Structures are given as C-alpha cells and as structure tokens.
Amino acid sequence: MNKFIGFIILFHLIGCNQTPGMGEGIAKSGGTQGAKIDKAFISFRIGVPLWSSEKRYSELLDLFDKYKGVTDEITFFTSTTHPPLPLDVFQERVAILKFRMAEARKRGYKAGINILATIGHHNENLDHSLREDYTRITNIDGEICNGSFCPNDEGMRQYVKNIYQLATQANPDYIWIDDDIRFGHMPIGLGCFCDNCLNIFEKESGIWYTRQSLKKALNEGPADEKLKLREAWLQHNRNTISRLFVLIEKTVHAITPALPLGFMTGDRFYEGYDFDNWSRILAGPNHAPVMWRPGGGFYSDITTSDLVGKSHDVGRQASMLPQEVVSIQSEIENFPYQRLKKAANIVALEACSHIAAGCTGAAFNVLSFYDEPLDEYEPLMARLHEARPFFDLMVRLLGRSELAGIQTFWNKNSFATGNIDDGNWLHSGNPLVSHDLYNIGLPTGYSNKTAKVTILGKDNVLALSKEEIKTLLSGAVYMDAEALNQLNRMGFSELTGFDVVRSENVDRIEKFTNHPLNGEFANSQRDNRQSFWKSAAYTLRPVNENAKPLSSLIDYSGKDVSSCTSGIFENKLGGRICIAGYYPWTFMENRSKSSQMKSVFRWLSKETLPGYIASFHRINLWIHEPQSGKIALALTNASFDPAKNVILMLKTENKSVKIFDMACKETTITSSGNDGPYQRFVIPEVGEWELRLVLCESF
C-alpha cells in the first residue's frame, strides 16, 4: 500500500464514528420480539483477496449488481487464515474496509465485518499471525495450540478490545464474531486447562486441581461425582465465553450503542451451549440486535445426505435462541471453494433445508479466496438469484415458529455424560444418539418444550434429575435397551415395563409379532447382519401385563430364540414407552420397518404428531407449530429417485393445502380422506433432492 494513501485511510478511520444509517435499519427491524419477518436475511461472505484489490472488488460488486437481489448484505472477512492477526495488520485491513463498505452501501447493500479470528482457530500461517506472549489454549495434558489464545489471558483480552474498537470505528453496519470462540482446536483437542483457567476454576468450585488431578477426577470414581465435576467444568466454560462477550459488547457499544453483533456457532456441547444467555449479553443493556449464524460441516456434496445432518445441527442451534434474535443466517460454506465440489442446485437446497430447520436466512461463503476472475462462480450466483424468491417465501411463512415433532434428547449438560463408565471424557464426542428415524418421514423437532416424542439414548438420561426423568417417562419416549438398563438401575423399572434378559452379538434376525401396530407386516423379518454391522441383539422380558412385544428374534435357521426384542408399554403415569433392542437407531429404510415406526410414533404421541409421511419414501420433514390458524411445513426428497405420490398425513380439519415448489409455483391439493385426526394429501411428485413448502390455512 502507498504510505501516503495508508496515512489518509488511517486518519479517516480514527477520526470518524458511525453515522446513522444501515445499522439503525437492522436495529429497527431485527430487535423486537415477535416481529414479522418479510423476507430472508441473505449475505455473502467475501475473502480478503476479493476485496483488497480495487479491480477485483469492483468486478465483485458488478456481479452482485448483475444478479440484483441475490444478497442484501456483503460481509468482509478480516483474514484468509485462522489465527489472530498482528494488530498493525488488522488496523491496515479495516482501514481499507471502511472504504469498501462505503462503496457497497452506494450500491444498495448493507456491509459489515467478519472478524475471522478473535482468539484463533488452529495452527496455520503462524509466522505471519499474532505472536505476542499471551497464553495459548492448553489441553489437559499441557499441550498448546500456537494459533489459539486463552480468552482469560489479560493481555489477550486487551488485544480483543483493540481489534473490536478498530472494527467498530471502521463504520460497519454490523460485526460478526466467528466460530473460533470455542474450546476445541487442532491439533490439541479440547481446552483450556492453562494455569490461569485452573486458578479461575478453583475460585468457582472451591477446589484446587492440577491438570493431572483434574483429569483423574473427571474420568475416575463414582459416576455421580464425575458428573458433578464435569457439569461444573461446563459452567466454567460458559462463564469464560460470557466474560469475553461482555468485553466485546461493552467495547463495541461504547462507540456505537445500537450496532448489531452476530455470532457464528456449531454444536457447542463442550462449551455449555449457552446460546440464550450469550445472545442477551451481546445485545447489551440497550438491547441492540443480535444475529446468529448456525453452522456445521458440509463442504462437498459427495455425501449428499450430510446436508440434512447439517440441517439438524443448525436446527438445534436455532432452537436455543430467544425470539428476539430474528436474523439467523445459516452458514453455507464450500471450503476450499472449488466450484465442482458442490453443485449449484445443492447449494440452493442447503439454504432451503436450513430455513426449514429453523433459520431465517443464509450466509453464503461460496466464492473464491483467490485474486482471480469470478467467471466460474457465475452459474452458482445465477442459481441462487433464481432461488431467492423461494428463500423469502419460506421465511415469510415459517418465520421463527417452533418445530413440533420428535426430539432426540439433549440439554446444556449432555456433554457431561460422555464415556461416563469408562472414563476418557474429553474424547467422548457428540453426546447425541445418531439415527435414521428422521429419514423415513417422521417430523423432526429440536426442543424439549415442543417435543411430541423423545428419543433417548443410554447416557443422556444422566443429564436429568430424577424428577425430570419421571416427567419424561410420563410423556412419550423411544429408547434402546441400554437406556432401559440405565433407567431400571436408577429405580424406574415400574415406569419402563421391561427388563433386559441378555444380549447376543451374532446371527439374530428381528421378526415382527402380530401386534396391531405391525398391521400388514406381521411376521415380516429384518436382518441387519450383525457380522457386518456390529450391534447387540437384546432379549427383553415384559414385567407388566401392559407391556406388549412388537418383535421377537430368530436365528438363521428360522428357530425362535427370543420372544421379545422390542415392545411398547403404557405406565401408570400415562406415559407411553417403546423399547427397541435390535438395531434401534439404524437400518430403518425397508418398507416394513419404516411403516412400523410410523405406527409406533403415532401411538407414542397419542395422536399428537402434527403429521408424517405415510408413503414409503426417503423424506425429511419439518412441521412448524401452527400460527394464526396456519400450519406451515417443509419436506425434502432426500433421494436420487423422484418421489411419486408422496402421502402427507397432516393433523388438521382442513381439506386442502397449498404446495410450493422451489420456483414458487403453487399447487392446491385436496384431501383424499382421513385416518382419525389426520387428513391424507397426495403430492404427485417431488424431484430428487428437492424441497417442497406446504401451507395449510384455516378458512
């Protein structure tokens, strides 16, 4: 950069505070609980090589103008690599961004700064990154990540204050905090267990630990003592992030009180999943708007089914946010941005799928991070421009309404239960049960308060108090045999209806009984080949006359070897329970099993499921709670085959629904009859990997 030009830029940066404008517009539209959302919140995240060159930046703006409406916001990364920047480099970059954002506003876009690294992600480009003598993130064995800094280090806190002051003085319409605000960093895994963090934990817990003694206490000893200590450490992590956000909020809002702050997250179980509290901290005492960017890993469409898995990730994250958080832009990331890694149609579908799961927009991080022409990205831009009206329609109809369906149990303390029996807590991974049940047309939910049925895995129950367990078992629960064992050991056998007798690891086939829930599939078989996909087959014993077997076990000769491997029970509290002892989470995609599961979940819910797909298709379904007499839902054909004659069963008295395809083409479908409280709507066809929006209105 020419030194004279650099001096002028820095002079303007230091001398100018934000003037009224785009930031206030967001504050007015985005900070009111229950505010009507008229369209999707759409942004593009722009890498340094595309904005640092005037020529390239002008070409970028021209491309956005050519596809006017494809985005409303242009968000500028501060860095191309993931550790924090040296302060002087950060200062030079935001000085340029002050002018880049002004140019974007002239063209009609809101513009903001994405601080890629506040404390740092991992080891990368260390020679050209922050090298101050601040404490690095430290794991429990004392290993450090040189590219990530402990947010409790006072020197690092001053650095954070400095960069957020500089970013705010550059006059952005908003500032995004990236997802390096977490405690899982390559190559060391989970932290931070530096000496300072241990000192803070001593003040919080009243007990002094070394790293070695803390590791032993977290992994050894009675389960209840380990759980108590682990939960205290999760609260310690929540507190650390809260303190950092207090610092950021005060720094930013001391300069521009109404400036919106945004935070990018993933599934933050180890960090304590304190999204509701953190969002209120970032709003500050003046209740400035807060934005959220839920994320997860889906960078290539080689495994297309991972798209829906990411939707479940972002759906959980969105479910934790207060209603006043209106702008929830899902992360759409195609890193490392090679165009053939992900088809344009899949990128558009991904944004739709995440909106279905609870987001209100999308943040596209899909363009090149090289200083080169954007020609190869123009077809992607054109496809997203084409899809924009559908994004807006989805957000108008779905808004921030809750999802009503089947929830896979979790709460803020779920991570504490990992590897509770065999130790090694910090390597226990995601605490959720992974299953196929959401792929066969059952409605997805992410929140305890709107769950019609709860899916419960073995150790998750330990994140609940005994009173909470009793409440859970008075509702509707689907669980595996290991969770049954856990509950029975805790004294809840009277409410579960079954005991585990034994388990076997080879050569067992599930055979359906003639119970009414099995319907036409009585005597059907399900062989999941234990020799290939290891999973124990459990024999259950009913211990109450109300406990009824749904399936038995046979061997490969057809001989009966167990009279019960799954069953249902209604307990004295009115709770309905299903125990599954043979592949409870996987291999649900044959017709007999998927049909059985739909009957079972409908029974479990006492006909309160808001709807489901009755036909035999691989479909993901998100049904939102009715609002003002309207039921809105989205469904995705998650298959490479077109789905023909999709049967949507919807709990409504209305006899017609409107179906919108991804081009916003509207079709009205009339009910072809009912089954109890459910109307039957037949959708003629949903194309492969396409989504449909459905609206049912009271008249």
* DSSP secondary structure string for all residues of 461-510: GGGS-HHHHHHHHTSEEEEEHHHHHHHHHTT-HHHH-EEEEEEE-SS-EE
Taking the C-alpha atoms of residue 41 and residue 20, their distance in angstroms, rounded to an integer, is 21
Beta bridge partners of 376: none
Taking the C-alpha atoms of residue 134 and residue 18, their distance in angstroms, rounded to an integer, is 31
* C-alpha triplet 22, 25, 27: angle, nearest 5°: 115
Count the neighbouring beta carbons within 10 Å of the beta carbon of residue 255. 15
Residue 489, pLDDT > 60, answer: yes
What integer pLDDT is reported at residue 698 of this predicted model?
66
Q: Looking at per-residue confidence, does 422 or 370 come out higher?
A: 370
Average pLDDT value for residue range 638-645: 97
Taking the C-alpha atoms of residue 487 and residue 491, their distance in angstroms, rounded to an integer, is 7
Q: Where are the beta strands (DSSP E) in 505-587?
A: 509-512, 525-526, 537-542, 548-554, 560-570, 576-580
Classify the phi-psi angles of 654: left when phi > 0, otherwise alpha if psi is within -120 to 50, otherwise beta.
beta
Residue 31, pLDDT > 90, answer: no
Q: Is the peptide bond before 222 cis (omega within 30 degrees of 0)?
A: no
* Beta strand 110-115 pairing with 73-77: parallel
Please provide residue 694's backbone torsions phi and psi, each rounded to the nearest 5 degrees: -125, 135
Across the chain, mean pLDDT equals 93
Average pLDDT value for residue range 660-674: 97
How far from chain centre, in Å, is Cα 124?
26
| Confidence category of residue 35, pLDDT binned at 50, 70, 90 | low
Q: Whats the size of the chain, residue-wise?
A: 699
Average pLDDT value for residue range 567-588: 98
Residue 222, pLDDT > 90, answer: yes
Please provide residue 181's backbone torsions phi and psi, each rounded to the nearest 5 degrees: -75, 80
- 10 Å CB burial of residue 309 (0-12, 13-18, 19+) is middle
Q: Looking at per-residue confidence, does 510 or 459 come out higher?
A: 510
**pLDDT one-digit tens code per residue, 47-72:** 999 999 999 999 999 999 999 999 99
What integer pLDDT is reported at residue 626 of this predicted model?
82
Same CATH topology for 3-133+151-185+241-398 and 619-697: the answer is no
Q: Is the peptide bond before 294 cis (omega within 30 degrees of 0)?
A: no
Residue 699, pLDDT > 70, answer: no
Task: Beginning with the edge strand found earlier in the chain, give each strand of the sheet holding 261-265 in spatial order.
Answer: 290-294, 261-265, 175-177, 110-115, 73-77, 41-46, 361-365, 329-333
DSSP for 615-633? SS--EEEEEBPPBTTEEEE
Q: Are 440 and 646 in contact (CB under 8 A)?
A: no
Residue 182, pLDDT > 50, answer: yes
The sign of the dihedral angle between the CA atoms of 421, 476, 674, 549 is positive
Q: Where are the beta strands (DSSP E) in 397-447?
A: 405-408, 440-445
Residue 10, pLDDT > 60, answer: no
Whole-angstrom Cα Rg for the chain: 27
Taking the C-alpha atoms of residue 668 and residue 518, their distance in angstroms, rounded to an integer, is 33
Average pLDDT value for residue range 110-123: 97
- In this structure, which amino acid lies at residue 649? M
Residue 142, pLDDT > 60, answer: yes
Taking the C-alpha atoms of residue 682 and residue 72, their distance in angstroms, rounded to an integer, is 37
| Confidence category of residue 598, pLDDT binned at 50, 70, 90 | very high
Taking the C-alpha atoms of residue 636 and residue 640, their distance in angstroms, rounded to an integer, is 11
- 10 Å CB burial of residue 280 (0-12, 13-18, 19+) is middle
With a CB cutoff of 8 Å and minimum separation 6, the contacts of 3 are none
Alpha helices in 152-298 (DSSP H): 154-169, 195-205, 211-219, 223-255, 275-283
Q: Looking at per-residue confidence, does 338 or 17 come out higher?
A: 338
What integer pLDDT is reported at residue 697 of this predicted model?
86
Average pLDDT value for residue range 629-639: 95
The predicted model scores a pTM of 0.94
What integer pLDDT is reported at residue 627 of this predicted model?
80
Q: Which of 694, 647, 642 is nearest to 673 (CA)?
A: 647
What integer pLDDT is reported at residue 230 of this predicted model?
98
Q: Which of 446, 459, 425 is nearest to 234 (CA)?
A: 425
**pLDDT one-digit tens code per residue, 225-274:** 999 999 999 999 999 999 999 999 999 999 999 999 999 999 999 999 99
Q: Looking at per-residue confidence, does 454 or 6 come out higher?
A: 454
Q: Which of 603, 571, 540 is nearest to 470 (CA)?
A: 571
Residue 15, pLDDT > 50, answer: no
Element (H, E) at 610: none
Element (H, E) at 52: helix 48-52
Q: Which CATH architecture has domain 619-697?
A: Sandwich (2.60)
Residue 280 tokens read as 């209120």
How far from chain centre, in Å, is Cα 507?
37
Share of the chain above pLDDT 90, in %: 92
SS3 (DSSP) at 224:
helix
The yes/no answer on whether domain 440-604 falls in CATH 3.40.50 is yes
Residue 34, pLDDT > 90, answer: no
Q: Looking at per-residue confidence, does 347 or 627 come out higher?
A: 347
- In this structure, which amino acid lies at residue 76? F
* Beta strand 405-408 pairing with 451-456: parallel
What integer pLDDT is reported at residue 3 of this predicted model?
37
Q: Are 114 and 77 in contact (CB under 8 A)?
A: yes
Q: Which of 321, 173, 152 is nearest to 252 (CA)?
A: 173
DSSP for 53-113? SHHHHHHHHHHHHHTTTS-SEEEEES-SSSSPPPHHHHHHHHHHHHHHHHHHHHTT-EEEE
Element (H, E) at 347: helix 344-356
Residue 19, pLDDT > 50, answer: no
Please provide the CATH number assigned to the domain covering 3-133+151-185+241-398: 3.20.20.80
Taking each continuous run of H as one helix and of E as one strand, the counts in the chain are 17, 32
What integer pLDDT is reported at residue 36 of this predicted model?
81
SS3 (DSSP) at 364:
strand
User: Tokens 């001096």 belong to which residue?
Assistant: 7
Average pLDDT value for residue range 8-24: 35
* C-alpha triplet 240, 241, 246: angle, nearest 5°: 100
Taking the C-alpha atoms of residue 622 and residue 642, their distance in angstroms, rounded to an integer, is 19
Average pLDDT value for residue range 517-524: 97
Q: Which of 622, 611, 692 is nearest to 357 (CA)?
A: 622
| Confidence category of residue 7, pLDDT binned at 50, 70, 90 | very low
Q: Looking at per-residue confidence, does 569 or 32 come out higher?
A: 569
Count the neighbouring beta carbons within 10 Å of the beta carbon of residue 606. 14
| Cα dist from 514 to 518, 601, 612, whole Å | 6, 18, 23
Q: Are 322 and 279 in contact (CB under 8 A)?
A: yes
Q: Are 180 and 148 in contact (CB under 8 A)?
A: yes
How far from chain centre, in Å, is Cα 118?
22
How many CA atoms lie less than 13 Å away from 145 in the CB half-sphere?
30
Q: Where are the domains of the chain?
A: 3-133+151-185+241-398, 440-604, 619-697
Residue 27, pLDDT > 60, answer: no
What integer pLDDT is reported at residue 460 of this predicted model?
86
